[in-house]
Structures are given as structure tokens and as C-alpha cells.
Amino acid sequence: MNDRDNAQSDGPKAYWRANLKLTAVLLAIWFVVSFGFGILLVEPLNRIAFFGFKLGFWWAQQGSIYVFVVLIFIYTVCMHRLDRKYDVHEDPDSPERRGD
């Protein structure tokens, strides 16, 4: 029995559990990056210059936004893999997608 067959036998609960785990991990990263670096660690980061700005200021204004955008792409790629693993993906050649 391969990994895909095992994933399909677990059903929707396993898919939802994997989805929630991925979401929780990405939200934790987002929290650490935005709140931790942008607010809690701003003073130590301000001792470092980054393109002429204090790194803490830059991180609070720009860096956390860049990380958020990267996390969106990571979520998209990971969800695509989860959809394939649990066989809930939308096949672009399916009759439902073509309108047949």
C-alpha cells in the first residue's frame, strides 16, 4: 500500500487535520515574524543598518510583508500537494472544469 492509498483510506478527517496543521505552522511563523521581529525584537534589530535604515524599522514596515507574501506561496504549493495526496484536487481536464 503506497502513501497515496493510505492517505485516501484515512479520508476527509486526515485531510482536514493536515490542512489545519499546515495553517497553524504558517500562522505561527507569521506571528513570530510580524509580532516578534517587528515589535518585541525591534530594539536589538535597530542596532543593525539595512540599506541605510534601522533593521527593526525596516522589518516592521517591509520585511514582515515580504515574509507574508512568501507564506502565501508556500501555502499554495503545500495545499496543492495535500490535494493530490488526498485525491481532492481539481483535474484541469475533467468534464466539470471544461464545461462538458
The per-residue pLDDT for range 41-56, each reduced to its tens digit, is: 889 988 998 888 888 8
Q: At 23, give phi and psi (nearest 5°).
A: -60, -45
pTM score over 0.95: no
Cell of 64: 514582515
Count of C-beta atoms within a 10 Å radius of residue 14: 16
Cell of 65: 510583508
Residue 99 lies in a domain: no
Q: For residue 59, which amino acid is it? A: W
> What's the pLDDT score for residue 72?
97
Residue 58 lies in a domain: yes
- Do residues 56 and 43 make contact, with C-beta atoms less than 8 angstroms apart? yes
> What's the pLDDT score for residue 52?
86
> What's the pLDDT score for residue 82?
93
Portion of the chain with pLDDT greater than 70, in percent: 80
* 53 vs 96: CA distance, rounded Å: 52
Q: Along the chain (100 residues), what's the average pLDDT of each consecutive run of 10 residues? A: 56 92 96 88 89 86 91 96 88 60
Residue 95 lies in a domain: no
* 60 vs 17: CA distance, rounded Å: 32
> What's the pLDDT score for residue 3?
58
> What's the pLDDT score for residue 76?
96
How many domains are there within the chain?
Answer: 1
> What's the pLDDT score for residue 1?
47
Note down the domain range covering 80. 3-89
Residue 8 lies in a domain: yes
Residue 83 lies in a domain: yes
Partnered with residue 54 across adjacent β-strands are 49
